[in-house]
Amino acid sequence: MKLISVQYGDFEEIEHLNPNFQKNFLKLKLTLDMLSPKEIYIENFPRLMFTLIEALPNLRYHQCSHGEKRHLKREYDPSHLISPIKIIGDVIDTVHLLEHTILELQCQISEMDVCSGLTCNYWEPENRFDVFVECTEPNIAIFSSNVAIAALKNIIYNTNDFDLPSLSDTVAIAKQIYSRGITDADELAGALQWSKPKVQSEIKRLDRFNFPFQILQPAA
């Protein structure tokens, strides 16, 4: 799973593909190449989905318009058993789950009530995909994307560059800094009830995923 480009814009050409897109949001467009053989993504998908839902339980409540029309004749959709996120049975499921993970991280960090996304595949090369994510602050969307990609890779390949149980800590500190405007390490330690060394190590991790420390949410 390799991020090959990031763009920010309105992308009017895809607006009609998700009726939930809102006119007042611009979108981040991520282009990704899925570099492993197709079987790797398909075989690992159930474990990926269960693990992500455990780490981000709110994924269960996402709305999803993806693939609805294409699967009208299906007798039942197994995805409804655990999540409303639609499953096609191909590599795109992994990319689509990445989209929902980015949306969830972004909504939690920036306290957005709702944001929508879209995942599209290319005909050629067939392992290339575009993920569109509505955002108010592109740098938070990029940070959320970096964290989501690391988390998915960690689950699929058992890599140790990201410690999944600490995903909620990453979200918690990012939210304090971005949405609450707390930047002082002592204040963060107090607000999160963490030790100062823990705050410092979490800040290093935010930095590794390009957290936009210079940008704070304007006071409401």
- Cβ(22)–Cβ(6) under 8 Å? no
Q: Tell the smallest beta-carbon distance from residue 44 to Zn ion (Å).
A: 19
Beta carbon nearer to Zn ion, 66 or 175: 66
Tell me if 152 contacts Zn ion by CB under 5 A: no
How many residues interact with Zn ion (rule CB under 5 A)? 2
Residue closer to Zn ion, measured from CB, 62 or 175: 62
Closer Cβ to Zn ion, 64 or 155, answer by number: 64
Q: In this complex, which beta carbon is closest to Zn ion, that of residue 87 or of residue 167?
A: 87
**Least distance to Zn ion from the beta carbon of 126, Å?**
20
Candidates 28, 48, 55, 64: give the one binding Zn ion (CB under 5 A): 64
Q: Report the b/e string of 27-54 with b at 16+ CB within 10 A.
A: bbbbbbebeeeeeebeebbeebbebbbe
Q: What are the distances in angstroms from CA 170 to CA 27, 102, 131, 156?
A: 23, 13, 22, 20
Q: Minimum distance between the CB of residue 163 and Zn ion, rounded to whole angstroms?
A: 27
66 binding Zn ion? (CB under 5 A): yes
CB of 52 to Zn ion, least distance (A): 13
> Whose CB is nearest to Zn ion?
64
Beta-strand ranges (E) seen in the chain are 2-9, 26-33, 117-121, 128-135
What is the DSSP-derived secondary structure letter of residue 183? -
**Stretch of residues binding Zn ion (CB under 5 A), selected from 15-23, 28-36, 64-72, 187-195:** 64-72
DSSP letters, 4-44, are: EEEEEE--GGGGGG-TT--TT-EEEEEEEE--S-HHHHHHH
CB of 52 closer than 8 Å to CB of 155: yes
Least distance (Å) from Zn ion to the CB of residue 57? 17
Q: Which stretch binds Zn ion (CB under 5 A): 17-25, 42-50, 65-73, 170-178?
A: 65-73
Assess contact for 126 and 38: CB atoms under 8 A.
no
Positions in the binding site for Zn ion (CB under 5 A): 64, 66
